[in-house]
Chains A and B, each alone.
Chain A
Amino acid sequence: MNEPIIQLKHISKQFGTVIALRGISTEIYTGEVTCLLGDNGAGKSTLIKILSGFHRPTEGEYLFQGKPTSFASPREALAAGIATVYQDLAMVPLMSIWRNFFLGSEPEIGRGPFRRYDIAFAKRTVKEELGKMGIFIRDPEQPVGTMSGGERQSLAIARAVYHGAKVLILDEPTAALGVKQAGVVLKYVVQAKARGLGVIFISHNPHHAFVVGDRFVILRRGRIYGAWHKEGLDRDVLVRAMSGSEELDALKHELDEFARRDVQK
């Protein structure tokens, strides 16, 4: 096993009197998809905000590439190679695809006062990069707000990959998508992993996670409830672990439904 790119040691986070996270220890490896699962309020958002430099942990150690790290801002984390694709996508809907793609790291040409945005390069690159992911756009001038949810999500992933992310944090990338579009996004998640990125996939959908994940970490009420490797893991175990025992009966019924439909097909 290679060295983990990110190591968390006993990370805790308190907001006033609320303990959002308690003693979180886990590792993220490159070339792997680590799924972070948990119900609403489990602490997923707080954890990714610590990973991406928005928050600093109250306690515990955050090691990036083996060294203790404390990112002062998302910008620092981004510069170090930790890119986060948020649920709300961090896109500017009224702005064109190419401007969004290069937002915050614009290519430039020219000298001194004539330093300017290399627009031709930007448009060409956007087309190429999206093409590599199987998305073909006719007009890079198109405002991002006019793209479909899946396209936007894929654009956000393509952007992070292009800008040299080593770790890609995806916050519920499939939550708002239809089945087909979710499938497309999941494909890009696997592609990003194949390119050697460490992917952190946050979800509350164990079915989506199971398809792409290599390792699974389940958070519940601010603690790690369990962690699994994909080998030999049954999806039911994941689904069961995701939910509290009181809901198990209801879920069991639902699972049987799924199983029956799978058999029928």
Chain B
Amino acid sequence: MLAKTDDDRRIRVGLFRKVVASPEIGALVGAAVVFIFFSLISPDVFPNIVGLSRVLDPAATLGIMAVAVGLLMIGGEFDLSSGVMTGTTGLLVGLLAVHAGVNLWVAIVISFAFAMLVGFVNGYMVVKTKLPSFIITLATFFVFRGVNVGVTRLVTNQVRVAGIDTIPGFELARTLFDTEFQFAGATFRTSLIWWIVIALIASWILLRTKVGSWIFAVGGNPDAARASGVPVKAVKIGLFMTTAGAAWLVGMMTAFRLRSALSSQGVGQEFVFIIAAVIGGCRLTGGYGSVIGASIGAMIFGITRVGITFAGWDTDWFFSFLGIMLLVAVLLNTYTQKKAAEVHTPKAPPEPEPVRSHPESPS
């Protein structure tokens, strides 16, 4: 018989199992381990408020991207153009405002609209061609990688757009996107506030709205989602646009912070975003994950980067460290997901051999 109220085949789900089965747990443990590790190595400079502010600085912009990329991954897709787009959007503002004389705010809005368009095209091509998003966005990535350098050199004869800080309105834009502020004796940046707000909103949408359910569904089983009436294509395109939008935001932050836009900005970063999301428990094939986890993944990145600097090690080793972290995270998450699926299915006793093949026969 099927489950009754007291099915003895069901084991009780303990708190421990529930905690182990949550997608963020791997990232949380990882963050703690890395933090303790670097605290032991540099006990004087690392575990204090200044150390924290240093960690949160790179973590913030990465975290914003990891949240968007994490949502996209839960929705079952990749975006390899997300890194280069943080450069393209900044360059566009610089070129428009510095070299074409467009009002700064208009340039910022145009850049946003452009990012939305790129996100839409990425998503549209993926849902229309049904090709892996890995390939589609790899193409987008290379197109913009070339465009960024090509157009910048054509207009400025350099590989960067300088002088963004000479445009009227720069100070306000910098305050809005990425400026410093003092808190508890340490220097933080406004990008941190953006990150926290975005992570909380994204998590709320993912876990508490119907769109969140749709994101899990289109990543977990797109056919089922479609059959249930979920607008699969719209959800996927929306996720690509969200990722491009996040890249625009980070592009603005970077451009206004550096006061110039580099044509090589963001290239290679797309993998770091994906790593942060994966460390945070997002399943590579979609349908499972958490944006809070992705944010913790970004924290691990920040801790590692700053920790290596503080420890006085050669920063060349940073990427090797990141690679190992990724591998450990994937193994841990695979194990976690297996455990999550196992929680309710202890081995069922074998079905007794049926005597008759049709249940309605008279006995």
Using CB atoms and an 8 Å cutoff, list the residues of chain A in contact with chain B: 74-75, 78-79, 84, 86, 88-95, 99, 102-106, 108, 115-117, 119, 134-139, 142-143, 145-148, 150-151, 154, 178-184, 186, 207-208, 210-211, 258, 261-262, 265
| Closest A residue, CB atoms, query B208 | A116
Stretch of B39-47, B135-143, B322-330, B355-363 at the chain-chain interface: B355-363
B348 CB contact (under 8 Å) in A99, A139, A145, A148: A148
B7 proximity list for chain A (CB < 8 A): 136
In the complex with contacts A90-B228, A92-B224, A94-B216, A184-B2 CB distance below 8 A: yes
Chain A, residue nearest B348 (CB): A148
Contact B209 A148 (CB under 8 A): no
Q: Across the interface, which residues of A come within 8 angstroms of B343, CB to CB?
A: 142, 146
B225 at the interface (CB under 8 A from A): yes
CB distance from B30 to the nearest CB of A (A): 22
**A147 and B229 alpha carbons, distance in the complex (Å):** 23
- Indicate the member of B10, B210, B217, B230 with the most A CB atoms within 10 Å: B210
Residue-by-residue, is B336-363 near A (CB-CB < 8 Å gives 1, otherwise 0)? 0100111111001001001111111111
Number of A-B contacts (CB under 8 A): 134
Q: Which residues of B contact A (CB under 8 A)?
A: 1-5, 7, 10, 13, 204, 208-210, 212-214, 216-217, 220-221, 223-230, 283, 287-288, 337, 340-345, 348, 351, 354-363
User: Are B357 and A108 in contact (CB-based, < 8 A)?
Assistant: no
What are the residues of chain B within 8 A of A210 when measuring CB–CB?
Answer: 358
Q: Using A116-B209, A134-B2 as known contacts, say yes or no to A84 and B361 having CB atoms under 8 A apart.
A: no
Q: When the two chains form their complex, are residues B228 and A94 in contact, meaning their CB atoms are under 8 A apart?
A: no
Distance, CA A150 to CA B359, complexed state (A): 15
**In the complex, given contacts A90-B228, A103-B214, A106-B213, what are 10 additional A-B residue pairs having Cβ atoms less than 8 angstroms apart?**
A90-B227, A94-B283, A103-B224, A103-B229, A139-B13, A146-B342, A179-B354, A207-B357, A258-B357, A262-B361
Interface centre among B4, B213, B287, B342 (most CB of A within 10 A): B213
**Assembly CA distance A89 to B230 (angstroms):** 15
By CB atoms of chain B within 10 A, which of A86, A104, A105, A183 has the most? Answer: A104
9 contacts between A and B (CB under 8 A): A84-B227, A92-B220, A92-B224, A104-B230, A105-B229, A146-B345, A184-B1, A211-B358, A265-B356
User: Is there an interface contact between A117 and B358, defined as CB atoms closer than 8 Å?
Assistant: no
By a CB distance below 8 angstroms, the chain B residues around A92 are 216-217, 220-221, 224-225, 287
